[in-house]
Amino acid sequence: MSSRSTPRPFGVCGEIKVDELTDFSRLSRWSFEKNSSPELRSPPFKFAGPLDCRLVLHSRGSNYSSLYLEVLYTNIVKKGSYLAFFSFTLENSDHSKSHSRDCISRFTAKKPSQGICKFARPFALTNPDFGFIFDNSVKIIVDLRVLSEAWSITGDNSSKKCSWTLENISLFTDMLSSYQLISPAFETGDCIFRIIVRRTKDDSGDYLGLFLDSTETDISNKDLYTTCWVMFKLCIVNQESASENVYFDFYGRFGGVNKFGDYTKMGQSKHLDWPKFIGSGFLVDDSAEFVLLIKVIEERFSQSLPFHSRTEYSDERLWEIKKFATFKDTLKKRKVLGLSVESMRFEVAKQAFRLVIYPRGKSSQSSQQLSFFLEVGENFNISFDQSCFVSYELSVIHPKTMDKSIRKCAVGHYSTRCRDELGWTDFVSLGNLFDPSSGYTSGDTITLSAKVLLLKETFLEGNAEVEKVGFPVDMDGESFYWELENFIYFCDSSDGISKVIRSPDFIFGRQKLRMGVLCALDGTIVAYLLRDLPVVENLGDGVPLEFECKLALAAPGSKKIVGVFYKAGDYAEMNPNFVDCVERGLGLRDWLESQGHQYIVTDDKEGPDCELEKHIPDLHVLITTPFHPAYVTAERIKRAKNLRLLLTAGSGTDHIDLNAAAAAGLTVAEVTGSNVVSVAEDEVMRILILVRNFSPGYHQVTRGEWNVAAIAYNAYDLEAKTLGTVGVGRTGGLLLQRLKPFNCNLLYHDRLKMDPELENETGAKFEEDLDAMLPKCDIIVINTPLTENTKGMFDKERIAKCKKGVLIVNNASGAIMDTQAVVDGCSSGQIGGYSGDVWYPQPAPKDHPWRYMPNHTMTTHISGATIDAQLRYAAGTKDMLDRYFKGEEFPPQNYIVKEGELASQYR
């Protein structure tokens, strides 16, 4: 371990004493003696009447010591939470060198300790030379001011009234310019909100600011991205005259994070002049009251049925807004508020969209219309770097008679230079929409939908630029290159609109030109060159122009490659080498696309409507991994008419029906050996974890228990134990080499005897008969692939042949074990401990019995997926794809099925 991660002890605290200095101030004296604990806690002391606190000094490695103030749990339970300003001063013998830090925090049951992470250097606290140790102790003064407040909240999850009274505000006025006062947190809709009060002083004056904030995550373990559309009124109450209450109304979409351009804070920093706040009835007897009325729309925003057999360029969304009739009154206020309601955003081909509705008043009140738009990209915090055409259909769904749904389709262009409005100001009359007999609101719910199909364009000018993208330039003059991604789908006329697509303008021969494509309703595609007005007018339009237009619909030999990986979410960003995930797709995208291949990645692999199913009919290559296996069944193989190659990124092909693949003439290959070191190392770890009875000891500690006996009665050394590996291929051999220094008796069983040199090196003895080896072993490790012969190999009878209390490690394949026999063995004690990372099926369902059996230390499928292994099997996969494109052979050991034949051990 490096010193960075090892907490540096302060030394045993001889004594920690706390004395009262003033009502708000306590002096703590800490004396350190011998080296010891990284965390020290002062005795509890009282503050502000009955508030019990203590100080906690914690060493964070060798770099910093943290200092926290902890409110004792019983206090929090009694009152809910405390907002407090606190400051810590570390006294120095030279007073000018004393060190102070302060902050305002809310102490809650989840966060009862608040403080300063990087408070001091640990050596400053333990080395007298720095002057912080004098009179034999370190002296820390803590000042604490607790806000006395009243908080009340009424209403339901969609509509609430909160009242927050601050009763001793004068204690905080000094720090209000640097700190803000934050109310208790509360949930409304899908977000967690707090009211914020702060003071702003600038050249124009001194003000009180008031905000609603949604960044709190303390209440529940919700996903980080939560959002809801909110309308609220925030008010400072004038305690002398209600008519002088000062309030503002706001609305908009809030989110727990502002990643997608949702609001995380809304309000006014100059809500009220500070002098007015303190002198005109808002502050009475040192107390001020703030009231919030908040309402959210109740909604469900979901992905709906496949559209154009959805690809990465298309999406279809349903937006249900509940209690719409009540909401209509709010919509009517549009005249006053300019109200518009935005949906959650969604992404198509990395481009962000959202739906927006608002009522648009026409000349007379009676003809009010609902406006309905699709908004693109750059209004959100997502950078806009693509030029695209958007074919879209917006609908108000008639829930009972689909034909009565109101649908409108159009095509628009969106780029930094051209922004068509995507939608309709007069989508439907509000009268019609709200008329109960029209049937658009069902059970007071209205459903809107949007289908979006994207055509991305790339436009390049100049021969050199065009050659750079691999398009041959074989003419004099100038080349212009216009690439339209997703062209075939986009031109599909089944939506009943013909599409005209025009390239950006370019200048040639002093003419302003554009390329154009018309996709007519009868399926004809016309590509043409358009000449606009001449740039230099006096040239007239008689300048002859020769041009050649090449239309390349796809690169010759272009393949559709589909990769199935798990989603990594935020973890994808945490390590650039983390490539085995949907977000990185083994790092193959740029390389594949630069060669004109299509690369689709997904984690959605099960069920008839999953993403993988959509590509089965026309994919050429399927890349899968054992960690998030796409089960390639005979039925899928039958439907995959273009499929030629099944690649496993890693090793292990249990998820592929090899016989069906062989019968269909497919090639199945894996990156043999790419992760065997990773698996062998992991097996050594699992063996030790079982032999040492490690897991219950670990769990004791995290549960706050301490019972050495409960572990020690069943913990052993590995030395002198007998260990047998079933299968001694690449992983089995590496395991035996790694176990050699532990001085155990090593046995192995395999179809074949191992290389005499390795046998000699490891001292492992061959056991031809598996059933004869089993009763000799204290530990059994399984290292064979899943084949017809090994499937269910460890059933009830075989497990009964093992020594009572045998420890079993299996990182090879879940289906080698009979699931129930393992559960029974672990429950009866016949198996003393079972560990491994392979399951059937994967991901293991929540009710998989291995999750809940006793004496196991199973994990998710991870042993062969270390970052080192990922880089090896990503490179191996790329190498095989490259050979496949060039028609070259793979390394022989990688073939599992070749020319209709299974590799020998699978037969």
Ligand X SMILES: NC(=O)c1ccc[n+]([C@@H]2O[C@H](COP(=O)([O-])OP(=O)(O)OC[C@H]3O[C@@H](n4cnc5c(N)ncnc54)[C@H](O)[C@@H]3O)[C@@H](O)[C@H]2O)c1
Which residues are near ligand X by CB under 6 A? 650-652, 654, 675-676, 679, 727-732, 750-752, 783-787, 789-790, 811-813, 837-838, 861, 863-864, 905
Q: How many residues does the chain have?
A: 907
Q: How many CB atoms lie within 10 A of CB 738?
A: 16
Cβ distance to ligand X smaller for residue 162 or 782: 782
Cβ distance to ligand X smaller for residue 838 or 897: 838
Q: Which residue is nearest to ligand X (CB)?
A: 729
Cβ distance to ligand X smaller for residue 699 or 753: 753
Distance from C-alpha of 907 to C-alpha of 904, rounded to nearest angstrom: 5
For 881, half-sphere exposure in the C-beta direction (CA atoms, 13 angstrom radius) is 29
Q: How wide is the angle at C-alpha 56 spanned by C-alphas 51 and 57, nearest 5°?
A: 150
Distance from C-alpha of 239 to C-alpha of 899, rounded to nearest angstrom: 88
Cβ distance to ligand X smaller for residue 54 or 861: 861
The DSSP symbol for 417 reads: S
- 132: tokens are 């912080």
Distance in Å, CB of 876 to ligand X, minimum: 12
To the question of whether residue 729 is assigned a binding role by annotation, the answer is no
Measured in degrees and rounded to the nearest 5, phi and psi for residue 203 equal -60, -30
To the question of whether residue 785 is assigned a binding role by annotation, the answer is yes
Evaluate the omega torsion of the peptide bond into residue 472 and state whether it is cis, within 30 degrees of 0.
no
Cβ distance to ligand X smaller for residue 112 or 650: 650
Distance in Å, CB of 143 to ligand X, minimum: 55
The letter for the amino acid at 197 is: V
Distance from C-alpha of 67 to C-alpha of 140, rounded to nearest angstrom: 10
Q: How many CB atoms lie within 10 A of CB 302?
A: 12
- Unique residue bearing structure tokens 């090892």: 6
To the question of whether residue 224 is assigned a binding role by annotation, the answer is no
Distance from C-alpha of 728 to C-alpha of 735, rounded to nearest angstrom: 9
To the question of whether residue 675 is assigned a binding role by annotation, the answer is yes
Distance in Å, CB of 680 to ligand X, minimum: 8
Distance in Å, CB of 869 to ligand X, minimum: 8
Distance in Å, CB of 749 to ligand X, minimum: 6
Distance in Å, CB of 758 to ligand X, minimum: 11
Distance in Å, CB of 24 to ligand X, minimum: 59
The letter for the amino acid at 876 is: G
Q: Is the Cα torsion angle 797, 802, 808, 813 positive or negative in sign?
A: negative
Distance from C-alpha of 329 to C-alpha of 339, rounded to nearest angstrom: 12
Cβ distance to ligand X smaller for residue 311 or 678: 678
Cβ distance to ligand X smaller for residue 768 or 888: 768
Cβ distance to ligand X smaller for residue 377 or 732: 732
Distance in Å, CB of 670 to ligand X, minimum: 8
Q: Three-class SS of residue 589?
A: helix
Measured in degrees and rounded to the nearest 5, phi and psi for residue 423 equal 150, -165
Cβ distance to ligand X smaller for residue 114 or 790: 790
To the question of whether residue 871 is assigned a binding role by annotation, the answer is no
Cβ distance to ligand X smaller for residue 149 or 683: 683
Distance in Å, CB of 769 to ligand X, minimum: 11
Q: Residue 107: which of 23, 51, 27 has the closest Cα? A: 51
Distance from C-alpha of 32 to C-alpha of 138, rounded to nearest angstrom: 8
To the question of whether residue 750 is assigned a binding role by annotation, the answer is yes
Q: What own/partner pairs with CB < 8 Å and gap ≥ 24 does 854-857 have?
A: 854/826, 854/827, 855/826, 855/829, 855/831, 856/826, 857/686, 857/689, 857/690, 857/694, 857/695, 857/833
Cβ distance to ligand X smaller for residue 652 or 876: 652
Distance in Å, CB of 477 to ligand X, minimum: 56
Cβ distance to ligand X smaller for residue 375 or 750: 750
Distance in Å, CB of 787 to ligand X, minimum: 5
To the question of whether residue 864 is assigned a binding role by annotation, the answer is yes
Question: Residue 195 pairs with which residues in a beta bridge?
Answer: 212
Distance in Å, CB of 726 to ligand X, minimum: 6
Cβ distance to ligand X smaller for residue 664 or 786: 786
Alpha carbon 256 to its chain centroid, in Å, reads: 14
> What does the H/E/C string look like for 668-688?
EEECCCCCHHHHHHHHHHHHH
The letter for the amino acid at 572 is: A
Cβ distance to ligand X smaller for residue 213 or 654: 654
Cβ distance to ligand X smaller for residue 433 or 781: 781
Distance in Å, CB of 754 to ligand X, minimum: 8
Is residue 27 within 8 A of residue 18, CB to CB? The reply is yes
Q: In what order do the strands lie in the sheet with 831-836?
A: 765-766, 745-749, 722-726, 779-782, 806-810, 831-836
- Unique residue bearing structure tokens 């729309």: 297
Strands 346-348 and 387-396, bridge-based pairing? unpaired
Q: In what order do the strands lie in the sheet with 598-602?
A: 598-602, 560-564, 621-624, 645-648, 667-670, 895-898, 901-902
Q: How many CB atoms lie within 10 A of CB 573?
A: 10
End-to-end Cα spacing for the chain: 47
Q: Residue 780: which of 744, 817, 821, 810 has the closest Cα? A: 810
Distance in Å, CB of 718 to ligand X, minimum: 21
Cα distances (angstroms) measured from residue 493 to each of 412, 422, 502, 521 = 16, 19, 17, 5
Distance from C-alpha of 583 to C-alpha of 601, rounded to nearest angstrom: 8
To the question of whether residue 681 is assigned a binding role by annotation, the answer is no
Q: How wide is the angle at C-alpha 743 spanned by C-alphas 740 and 744, nearest 5°?
A: 95
To the question of whether residue 786 is assigned a binding role by annotation, the answer is yes
Distance in Å, CB of 633 to ligand X, minimum: 18
To the question of whether residue 811 is assigned a binding role by annotation, the answer is yes
Q: Residues annotated as binding site?
A: 675, 750, 785-789, 811, 837, 861-864
Q: Residues annotated as binding site for NAD(+)?
A: 750, 785-789, 811, 837, 861-864
Q: Residues annotated as binding site for substrate?
A: 675
